[in-house]
């Protein structure tokens, strides 16, 4: 087994080639993944903090390339996560690119497109038929979705430790570079406080060393914050709340979005959703942007109940049919934490604010950013010197800007516009009733266009994205 040498400790030393890393990885993978024990578990080529979609995608592609990958997840699977559970064709493409089985026999429910209701209109818009993306979406509860991805990464060779809470970065004393993390077993159970919290604090803290670290630890990204990467106030952020209801609409083959969310006389910038889960329940929730003047004053749970109270009684969205608590979460949008690479640390998914401001989609971009991070890291660690490795790693933020930068800038303009009640009301009243407008809107908001060629709408959206500065 070869010794792992942090880059910062040996700036002029040639890095191991991929073949050597692969042999080292195969040796380490024989160690169990159920706890913090064993000498070899304390180091890896890459440490991934968080086993959500971004972390698991990165770990999968890194392990597939032969690198030794260690994922640290603060909770234990299965675990709940606040989400709409609906996957667009963008996310479906990312899943198939990882080789995740997505057939109905594996528990996935397909949908045909989006049903949009608002401004007195109602229209069903199928997902666009593209060579770049599949023409269908999926529904899967996050209760097992994240575990499916994490186990898939394990099968590729990544090591996973559950119930391990990362407490901070491990820094090189001389350079300040991130060369690993510190973590404590059992700290995840401390969320409820009391004895669990005290027991977690009594656990010994230990270090995990890695040549690189990926922060895929979600919206709050404590690891990023601990090295000074705070959330940017010039980027939009959303709030989503959701719950589940037993109801007869659970087999709906369209995702449903309602644009009429009112706070008294004010039309709010956001939408409500009803996504049938196919298991007797529907995921029902709403998401709002902070571009509304009323953002801080809204009680989102009350708003959700008020919106559902206007639904037909036979749909079953009543308190007696609610099967889960109403839970909420923040949606970090439009690169709201930067830079995405610094001093040995890469940010992926929600940790880097990669939720699409146009529609609140996060899973597809988490999966894609994990793959981009893995691709950059694999190339970087194959370079012959530390200087050339660092040069390759600096290409990660540029790769993300190439993929999303101009599009996210457009989206930030959009969210400012819909924060004006008059604009939102005009767009809803006049847009929903026009199929051509809604097909364009579907492609724009879903970021679903042919990468090359395509129809006039594709070319227009792609041109706008390329011409818009990536800030």
Q: What is the pLDDT of residues 422-432, one digit of tens each?
A: 888 888 888 88
Q: Considering the domain boundaries, does residue 12 fall inside one?
A: yes
Range of the domain at 339: 7-79+145-232+334-404
pLDDT bin (cut points 50, 70, 90) of residue 451 is confident
Bridge partners for 210 per DSSP: 44
Q: How do residues 65-96 score in pLDDT, each as one tens digit?
A: 999 999 999 999 999 999 999 999 999 999 99
Q: Considering the domain boundaries, does residue 267 fall inside one?
A: no
Q: Considering the domain boundaries, does residue 289 fall inside one?
A: no
Measured in degrees and rounded to the nearest 5, phi and psi for residue 355 equal: -70, 135
Neighbour tally for 38: CB within 10 Å = 10
Nearest to 273 by CA among 364, 430, 365, 139: 139
The Cα-based distances of 4 to 26, 49, 192, 213 in angstroms read 14, 19, 37, 14
Q: Considering the domain boundaries, does residue 221 fall inside one?
A: yes
pLDDT bin (cut points 50, 70, 90) of residue 11 is very low
pLDDT over 90 for what percent of the chain? 75
pLDDT bin (cut points 50, 70, 90) of residue 442 is very high
pLDDT exceeds 60 at position 17: no
Q: Considering the domain boundaries, does residue 261 fall inside one?
A: no
The Cα-based distances of 99 to 153, 155, 156 in angstroms read 11, 11, 11
Give me 182's structure tokens.
Answer: 């510190």
pLDDT recorded at residue 38: 37
pLDDT exceeds 50 at position 36: no
Q: Considering the domain boundaries, does residue 130 fall inside one?
A: no
Q: How many domains does the chain have?
A: 1
Average pLDDT, the chain: 88
Q: Considering the domain boundaries, does residue 458 fall inside one?
A: no
Report the range of poorest mean pLDDT among 2-16, 429-443, 454-468. Answer: 2-16
Q: How do residues 202-236 score in pLDDT, each as one tens digit?
A: 678 999 999 999 999 999 999 999 999 999 999 99
CATH number for position 11? 3.50.50.60
Q: Are strands 113-118 and 254-258 parallel, antiparallel or unpaired?
A: parallel
| Entry pTM | 0.89
Check if the beta carbon of residue 117 is closer than 8 Å to that of residue 257: yes
CA distance 302 to 332: 23
CA distance 242 to 203: 34
Q: Considering the domain boundaries, does residue 216 fall inside one?
A: yes
pLDDT recorded at residue 201: 61
């Amino acid at each position: 087994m070869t010794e792992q040498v942090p880059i910062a400790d040996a700036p002029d030393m040639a890095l191991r080639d991929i073949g050597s890393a692969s042999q080292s990885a195969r040796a380490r993978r024989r160690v169990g993944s159920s706890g913090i024990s064993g000498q070899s578990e304390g180091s890896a080529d890459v440490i991934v903090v968080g086993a959500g979609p971004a972390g698991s995608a990165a770990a999968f592609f890194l392990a597939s390339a032969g690198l030794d990958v260690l994922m640290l997840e603060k909770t234990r699977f299965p675990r709940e996560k606040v989400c709409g559970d609906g996957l667009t064709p963008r996310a479906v493409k990312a899943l198939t690119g990882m080789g995740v089985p997505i057939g109905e026999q594996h528990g996935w429910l397909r949908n045909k497109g989006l049903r949009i209701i608002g401004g007195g209109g109602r229209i069903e818009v199928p997902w666009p038929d593209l060579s770049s993306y599949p023409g269908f979406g999926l529904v899967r509860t996050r209760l097992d979705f994240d575990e499916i991805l994490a186990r898939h990464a394990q099968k590729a060779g990544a090591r996973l430790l559950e119930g391990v809470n990362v407490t901070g970065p491990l820094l090189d004393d001389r350079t300040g570079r991130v060369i690993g993390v510190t973590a404590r077993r059992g700290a995840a159970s401390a969320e409820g406080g009391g004895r669990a919290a005290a027991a977690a604090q009594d656990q010994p803290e230990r270090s995990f060393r890695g040549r690189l670290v990926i922060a895929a630890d979600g919206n709050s990204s404590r690891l990023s914050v601990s090295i000074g990467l705070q959330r940017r106030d010039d980027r939009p952020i959303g709030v989503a709340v959701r719950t589940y209801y037993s109801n007869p609409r659970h087999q709906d083959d369209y995702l449903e979005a309602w644009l009429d969310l009112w706070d008294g006389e004010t039309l709010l910038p956001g939408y409500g959703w009803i996504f049938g889960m196919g298991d007797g329940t529907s995921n029902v929730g709403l998401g709002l942007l902070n571009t509304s003047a009323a953002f801080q004053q809204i009680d989102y749970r009350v708003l959700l109940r008020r919106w559902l109270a206007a639904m037909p009684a036979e749909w079953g969205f009543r308190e007696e049919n609610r099967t889960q608590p109403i839970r909420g979460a923040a949606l970090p949008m439009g690169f709201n934490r930067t830079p995405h690479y610094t001093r040995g640390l890469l940010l992926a998914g929600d940790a880097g604010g990669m939720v699409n401001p146009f529609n609140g989609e996060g899973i597809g971009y988490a999966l894609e950013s994990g793959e981009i991070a893995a691709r950059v890291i694999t190339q970087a660690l194959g370079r012959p010197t530390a200087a050339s490795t660092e040069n390759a790693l600096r290409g990660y933020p540029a790769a993300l800007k190439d993929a999303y930068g101009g599009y996210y800038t457009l989206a930030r303009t959009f969210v400012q516009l819909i924060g004006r009640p008059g604009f939102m009301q005009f767009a809803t009243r006049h847009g929903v009733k026009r199929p051509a407008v809604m097909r364009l809107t579907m492609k724009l908001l879903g970021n679903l266009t042919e990468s090359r060629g395509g129809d006039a709408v594709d070319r227009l959206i792609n041109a706008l994205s390329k011409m818009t500065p990536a800030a």
